[in-house]
Amino acid sequence: MSAILQQEKQLFLENRKEDALQAAQSVAIQLSCGIDLQQALNAPAEKRASIAAKLTRLIKRERLKGLNKHWSYDINRHIALKQAQTRLLQLL
């Protein structure tokens, strides 16, 4: 019984972590460039490729902000944009 509960607990925690990661990516993309991540993931391949290119430009700009120590740089936004780009590129 205890082993089953431990497995269910572990599965629940992993799902919760994945949901939080997806939410962070969705918010970062929505705020940074006005793109709905779920719509982007369900879009045709050409549209996903264009969104991935836009994310590449945004990540480059964010990286430059970080290098220049700009006050608006946010490492969490940078990470979320990169993770969202990776998810989109995996679907291509």
Residue spans of the domains in the chain: they are 2-91
What average pLDDT does the structure give for the chain?
Answer: 89
Distance from CA of residue 86 to its chain's centroid? Answer: 8
- Contacts of range 34-38, beta carbons closer than 8 Å, 24 or more positions apart: 37/84
| Higher-pLDDT residue of 73, 80 | 73
Pure H helices in 1-92? 2-33, 37-42, 45-67, 75-91
Give the list of residues 6+ apart from residue 26 with CB closer than 8 angstroms, or none.
Answer: 36, 37, 38, 84
**Cα first-last separation, the chain:** 43
pLDDT of residue 59: 94
Look at residue 27 and tell me whether its pLDDT is greater than 90: no
pLDDT of residue 1: 65
Whether pTM > 0.85 for this model: the answer is no
